[in-house]
């Protein structure tokens, strides 16, 4: 059995065995003993602090992981969701596919030019049997071909084998995208709030586009009261589909709502609203990739240079190609960063290069608890318990990165109204100058370049 003792010669440990001769022990001075005691205590305290810090870090990581996995029960859609029209007839089945994503059952999209499509048919004429329809996206110079394939071809690998190698990347499922507000509206109503009259983002006439649900045109926040608000809507859903108003009305309320308690971001606005979302249930909406692409095509045809997209979904080569072509045309897309949680994967279109990704903060500049985080975040704006219009004609509060995106869209539109020749890079540069830095100095994964708020600062 080994034991250890301290000697006066430094602090070296000298082993001593019970059967060995005992070395003489010299009494240590009190000052040295006190010094050693203090050193031991400090080391013990430091060790305890390190252990505590490690426990805190582990608990934080565990909390973030759990938080990212916690879903609002309303988000848990069934693996197969029949989408019915107003006559209760099946329009399509919305199904869960790979990686938990959702898509229209057995529907695929190919984005090609007419010569490319003829090349495909020359190689695989049998594909023509699966064509549901072909639509021209004139604003980007391509065709959108929708296929409904048999189960034997219902995966990327099988379908790509049927396409010429150079054309195979322009293929995607007809994915489902969702708006980015909380599934259940906040309980606060207009009776719970005091009137607030913040300054407008700018007072000049603005033209702005958005892809969303339909907007209730008869809401008191603009009908009859706001003579400077013009609403132009176009529907990109099957004619028999029931109309959903909730999310689009809330986004429009942030942009143009005017009442005793609402002050519009853009008091003189022409809003082009492309309706792409249908009701999945009482609380949720979905939009097919096909509808979104047609909506974008129409908005660009109407000369909208700024488009608000308070929606997210999976990355895919078809949407990526369309976004890339629109960015090349100097169309500025502003998109919600997503409500997947701090540990969630990037969401699209916000995470594409050339798209301005917006996260949400509350009135105290604290990050929205469900906001996505990552390198792709560009700016933050108020998006928590935002007072806005509701589809039923009332006014209430909504939360999510969906509510933050129109703040940035309004600011971009105001910048372009004063300087129409600005490029995307120049717009982003000016937004950086207008942003209030939050979080870590400079651009960070939570707030991007910082907070953008009304009004537009002049003289930059």
Q: How confident is the model at residue 327 (pLDDT cuts 50, 70, 90)?
A: very high
Q: Of the segments 9-13, 42-46, 209-213, which one has the largest average pLDDT value?
A: 209-213
- Does an H or E element contain 181, and which? none
pTM of the model: 0.82
SS3 106: strand
Mean pLDDT of the chain, nearest integer: 86
Q: How confident is the model at residue 226 (pLDDT cuts 50, 70, 90)?
A: low
Cα 222 to Cα 174: distance, rounded to the nearest angstrom? 35
The secondary structure of residue 222, as a DSSP letter, is: T
What pLDDT is stored for residue 372 in this prediction? 97
Of 184 and 449, the structure prediction assigns the larger pLDDT to 449
Task: Looking at 204-357, list the stretches that DSSP marks H as alpha helix, in order from N- to C-terminal side.
Answer: 246-256, 289-301, 317-328
pLDDT surpassing 80 at residue 11: no
CB 270 within 8 A of CB 111: no
Q: How confident is the model at residue 32 (pLDDT cuts 50, 70, 90)?
A: low
What pLDDT is stored for residue 72 in this prediction? 47
Termini Cα distance of the chain:
78
CB 261 within 8 A of CB 195: yes
Q: In sequence order, what are the residues at sequence separation of 6 or more whose Cβ sits closer than 8 angstroms to the Cβ of residue 88?
A: none
CB 273 within 8 A of CB 417: no
What pLDDT is stored for residue 16 in this prediction? 40
CB 180 within 8 A of CB 383: no
CB 424 within 8 A of CB 374: no
pLDDT surpassing 80 at residue 176: yes
What pLDDT is stored for residue 187 in this prediction? 45
pLDDT surpassing 80 at residue 34: no
Closest to 170 in 3D by CA, of 313, 277, 293, 276 = 293
Q: Poorest-confidence range of 3-17, 42-56, 222-236, 411-425?
A: 3-17
Tens-place pLDDT, residues 394-436? 999 999 999 999 999 999 999 999 999 999 999 999 999 999 9
Strands 379-382, 355-361: pairing is: parallel
Dmax (CA) for the chain in angstroms is 105
Q: In sequence order, what are the residues at sequence separation of 6 or more whose Cβ sits closer than 8 angstroms to the Cβ of residue 202?
A: 266, 410, 414, 417, 418, 455, 456
Cα 369 to Cα 64: distance, rounded to the nearest angstrom? 10
Cα 154 to Cα 105: distance, rounded to the nearest angstrom? 9
Closest to 369 in 3D by CA, of 405, 351, 395, 343 = 343
Cα 339 to Cα 151: distance, rounded to the nearest angstrom? 33
Q: Poorest-confidence range of 216-225, 255-264, 324-333?
A: 216-225
Q: Poorest-confidence range of 15-29, 108-122, 159-173, 331-345?
A: 15-29
**What is the C-alpha R_g of the chain?**
29
Q: How confident is the model at residue 162 (pLDDT cuts 50, 70, 90)?
A: confident
Closest to 313 in 3D by CA, of 334, 340, 332 = 340
Q: In sequence order, what are the residues at sequence separation of 6 or more whose Cβ sits closer than 8 angstroms to the Cβ of residue 9?
A: none
Q: State the average pLDDT over residues 324-345.
A: 96
Task: Looking at 369-423, list the stretches that DSSP marks H as alpha helix, in order from N- to C-terminal side.
Answer: 401-418
Tokens 């001593």 label which residue? 16
CB 265 within 8 A of CB 410: yes
Q: State the average pLDDT over residues 311-328.
A: 96
State both tokens at 455. 């009004």
Cα 262 to Cα 270: distance, rounded to the nearest angstrom? 18
Strands 395-398, 206-212: pairing is: unpaired
């Amino acid at each position: 059995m080994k034991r250890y003792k301290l000697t006066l010669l430094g602090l070296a440990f000298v082993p001593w065995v019970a059967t060995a001769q005992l070395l003489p022990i010299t009494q240590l001075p009190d000052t040295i003993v006190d010094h050693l005691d203090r050193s031991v205590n400090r080391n013990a305290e430091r060790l305890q602090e390190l252990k505590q810090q490690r426990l805190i870090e582990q608990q934080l990581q565990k909390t973030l992981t759990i938080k990212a996995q916690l879903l609002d029960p309303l988000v848990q859609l069934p693996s197969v969701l029949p989408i019915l029209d107003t006559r209760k007839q099946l329009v399509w089945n919305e199904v869960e596919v790979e990686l938990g994503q959702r898509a229209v059952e057995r529907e695929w999209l190919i984005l090609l030019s007419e010569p490319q499509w003829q090349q495909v048919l020359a190689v695989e004429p049998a594909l023509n049997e699966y064509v549901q329809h072909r639509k021209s996206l004139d604003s980007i110079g391509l065709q959108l071909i929708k296929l409904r394939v048999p189960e034997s071809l219902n995966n990327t690998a099988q379908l790509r084998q049927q396409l010429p190698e150079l054309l195979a990347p322009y293929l995607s499922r007809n994915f489902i995208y969702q708006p980015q507000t909380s599934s259940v509206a906040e309980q606060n109503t207009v009776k719970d709030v005091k009137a607030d009259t913040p300054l407008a983002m700018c007072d000049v006439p603005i033209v702005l586009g958005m892809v969303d649900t339909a907007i209730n045109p008869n809401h008191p926040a603009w009908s009859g009261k706001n003579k400077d608000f013009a609403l132009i809507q176009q529907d990109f859903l099957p004619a028999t589909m029931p109309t959903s108003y909730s999310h689009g009305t809330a986004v429009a309320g942030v942009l143009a709502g005017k009442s005793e308690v609402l002050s519009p971001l853009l008091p003189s606005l022409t809003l082009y609203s492309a309706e792409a979302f249908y009701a999945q249930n009482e609380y949720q909406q979905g939009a097919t990739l096909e509808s979104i692409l047609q909506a974008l095509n129409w908005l660009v045809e109407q000369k909208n240079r700024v488009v608000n997209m308070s929606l997210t979904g999976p990355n895919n080569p078809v949407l990526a190609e369309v976004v890339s072509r629109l960015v090349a045309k100097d169309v500025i897309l502003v998109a919600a960063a997503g409500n997947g949680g701090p540990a969630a994967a990037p969401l699209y279109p916000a995470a594409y290069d050339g798209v301005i990704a917006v996260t949400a903060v509350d009135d105290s500049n604290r990050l929205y608890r469900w906001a996505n985080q990552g390198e792709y975040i560009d700016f933050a704006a108020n998006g928590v318990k935002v007072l806005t219009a509701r589809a039923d004609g009332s006014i209430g509060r909504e939360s999510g990165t969906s509510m933050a995106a129109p703040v940035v869209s309004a600011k971009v539109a105001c910048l372009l109204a004063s300087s129409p020749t600005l490029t995307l890079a120049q717009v982003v540069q000016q937004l950086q100058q207008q942003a209030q830095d939050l979080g870590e100095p400079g651009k960070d994964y939570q707030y991007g370049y910082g907070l953008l708020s009304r009004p537009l600062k002049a003289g930059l």
